[in-house]
Structure formats: structure tokens, C-alpha cells
A and B are shown apart, each in its own frame.
Chain A
């Protein structure tokens, strides 16, 4: 996405399960299919129904089989812990859902194409505590199946739901390690100062 910004410049290497995602033979569409993304603010397609939002990625990839689409809709909504709340109104507009439900719908949409990695950019920062708790429970469940990379400024949330934590400050990676070590015995003073609330 950064390539859409004219002034953007990137150096270095990113590998997804050993494959260089910027390699000449790598198809960006396939990379995008293998990496799901969930953003800070829920962004369901406003003109689409709940079901259509879930299946949009599949349909864009050419899937037209209605029974398979219905099956994937249910699977994805179940995985996103939203099925029970919406199963009787799948054709209702996605924007009729609450903020927390819309964010879980976006997670269902990301899961529908069966990614291997899910990137989440502050997925609960715009939600109330109850909705945040549901998203965190969902992440704890999903991380069994998916490698989840989550960006958060909420220290407690990072401590609750992650296995590994990286602390970035002004573009530099200060420290990276197991979450328990990062929060109980960090190797860098800057990390300790941040996780204990001395700054930030």
C-alpha cells in the first residue's frame, strides 16, 4: 500500500514463510490473499449487506458458487464470534451493526479468504471496553490458527493477548522478545520506562 504514496521509499527485505514478498515472481494479489488486514476504524463496505461484506474477497477472486459462499460466510462469522448475533439478518446493511460488531465483521471479512497471517492495526482502540474485550477474546482464539500481528498503544492489551512483543520508538526497534520478559524483565531501560508508564 505504501507504494501508492509517491514519496514513499522502502529498503530491506520482508519474507512471508521464507518467500520474499517483493520478489519478481511473487504476485501481489496472492500475497494480499495470504495476509489479512484489520484496521483501527472498522471499514465495512457501506453499500453492502453483512453477508456480502464477508464474501467480497472471495467474489473478487472469482468464486461464484452460492452454496460455497454461504458456507464460507457462516464459517467466517462463527470464527469472528459474530454469527449468533447476525445469522437472522445477513442481508441487512453492514452499517446497521454496532461499532464492535462492525469490527468483528471486518475480521470475518479478513478470515473469509483463509489468510495465514492477520495484521491488526489497533483493532480495538475505537471501541468501548465491552467490545474491546470481545475482540481480545477473539484474538486469543484466532491466534491458535493464525499468526496475528497486532499494533497497539495499550500496554495492558499487549500483555494480555500477545506471545511476543516488539517495542518501537521513533521508527527504531528498541527491543523484541517474549511478552512475559518484555513486561517483567526488559533488557533495555527505555523499554522498562515505557511499559512502566514513565513516558509515552
Chain B
């Protein structure tokens, strides 16, 4: 059963209703429209000899949730030493 405030309060139909504040939205988990794609492929063709295995393929793969929002933090945590570091 649907219940409306108008049915319970006859004045409600004539009383101006103040605009409800727009709630603050939490971050959208996957911002596919605005985030930099994790992988972006443009006009990709790959062939092996005469065998064309990809023909001018174009598409974007959006990043995952934490890729998108915590990427900088993840990169900060990577403390791999320089490639030229000699053995200890």
C-alpha cells in the first residue's frame, strides 16, 4: 500500500514545500566517463606475416575502483630499488 503525506495532511497540498537539499554524493565507484582509462587502444593492428590478427581496433578499458581512486597511494607504496642496484 502506498501512503502519501497529502492524504494525512490536507494542508500539505496548498503549503509550499521547501526544496530539499541535495545530499552529498559519495565518490562514484567507477568513474568511467571521466577517469583516465587504464588501457586505451587506438587503431591497433597486429599481424604476423600475412596473418592479420587485429584490425584497427579501438577501445578503452576503465580502471577498477581502487585503481581509479587510490592509484597514487598504491604507486607511493611501491619501493622497489633502482634496477641497477648491485646485490647486497
Query: Residues of A with Cβ closer than 8 Å to B?
Result: 2, 5, 7-18, 29, 33, 58, 61-65, 113-114, 116-117, 143-149, 163-164, 166, 168, 171-173, 176
Contact = CB atoms under 8 A, between A and B. Distances in A.
A171 B55 contact: yes
Nearest to A143: B64
Contact of A14 (B39, B49, B62): B39
B74 A14 contact: no
A28 B71 CA distance: 20
Contacts of A12: 41-45, 56-57
Interface residues of B, number: 42
Q: Which secondary structure characterizes the binding site on chain B?
A: mixed
A172 B57 CA distance: 7
A93 B42 CA distance: 43
Given A62-B80, A173-B59, 16 more contacts: A5-B48, A8-B46, A9-B46, A12-B42, A12-B44, A14-B39, A14-B44, A15-B39, A15-B42, A64-B87, A113-B80, A116-B38, A144-B64, A145-B64, A149-B39, A172-B57
Contacts of B1: none
B31 interface: no
A172 B61 contact: no
Name the 9 nearest CB pairs between A and B, nearest first. Answer: A12-B44, A147-B38, A7-B49, A15-B40, A12-B43, A13-B42, A64-B88, A62-B85, A11-B45
16 contacts: A8-B48, A9-B46, A11-B43, A11-B44, A13-B43, A61-B83, A62-B85, A64-B87, A65-B88, A114-B74, A116-B74, A145-B64, A148-B64, A168-B57, A171-B54, A173-B58
